[in-house]
Amino acid sequence: MIDLHCDTILKIYEHPETSLYENPFQLDLIRLKKSIIDVQQFALFVELSQTTAPYAYYQKLLACFNQQMAQFNEWITPFTTYDQYLKLKENNQLAALLTVEEGATLEGKLEHLTQMYEDGVRLLTLMWNFENEIGYPSALYESHDGQLSHTSQQGLKPFGYQVVEKMNELGMIIDVSHGSDQLTRDVLAISKQPIVASHSNCRALCPHYRNLPDDLIKKIANQGGLIGLNYFETFIRFNDETLLDQLCRHALHLKTVGGLECLALGSDFDGIPTHPELKDVTIVEQFIDRLTHFGFTARELDYLGEKNVTRLYREIL
């Protein structure tokens, strides 16, 4: 199975006494080997409140990722192309795809995007929770009474349109998680390839600004895109069932609204607080098993776990 998003590299960078092999966080190689995850996408997450030089910070995280990949190359192998992915899959090797979360790392320069591609980055999450040179985040549109503002939203800026076009040209996956609804609409209007919301759930069930409304779920799905289920309680909870059952209902809602081929996993491990029901990467097998109680067949779970993302890799990488 494939997971579209985790923030473990930042945790390791911040705690140099730890490693990707073994750590006290939500994901490490020992637990990945025990889990049913075969491919993990690792985000280099740059929080703008922590730095005034986001591109330089990205480079430090990149060095950390590369060092971990080199040190534990007998355990995990990074890939950048679809053919490389297929070879790793055929050999039953644990694989890693490098991504970046926060478009401000580009500092408004397309040459930085090209360099990221040369560095091995194959997905860029355009936004986090701050406005940047690319556009506007969903976080700006949460009103004080807890209701979402659907009016006067702003989306892509002129540089953002250039970034989308350049990512299409390079063959990079565009990620709209954290983007405003209008930003997602703008991206969908101009992107010539499918896009993803790598770690977002369903707003119809849990009315949080970080979740997707049904109309955007449909539009992302209709263009061949993917939505990765996020394991953060705040983006899941809408009743008193177990958190795992509620996450299953988000999966069922995505399937109902967007169709089977938009489903993916996007845990957000090490970017979210630990919850005892979804504590770390070893829980994924239990989640998949629980989905069978909500009517998911083995064939459907294959699409959720791997086939949908494999299609995206084939189309873009």
Check residue 143 and give its pLDDT.
57
Confidence of residue 149 (pLDDT cuts 50, 70, 90): low
CB atoms within 10 A of CB 292: 13
pLDDT at 161 over 60: yes
Please report, rounded to a whole number, the percentage of residues in the chain having pLDDT higher than 90: 95
CATH of domain 2-316: 3.20.20.140
Which of 281, 289, 307 shows the shortest CA–CA distance to 29?
Answer: 281
pLDDT digits (tens, 9 = 90+) for 130-140: 999 999 999 88
* Alpha helical stretches, state H, the chain: 8-14, 29-34, 54-71, 82-90, 110-119, 158-170, 181-190, 214-222, 233-236, 243-258, 284-291, 298-302, 308-316
pLDDT digits (tens, 9 = 90+) for 9-38: 999 999 999 999 999 999 999 999 999 999
Confidence of residue 179 (pLDDT cuts 50, 70, 90): very high
Check residue 188 and give its pLDDT.
98
Domain positions in the chain: 2-316
pLDDT at 144 over 70: no
Check residue 162 and give its pLDDT.
98
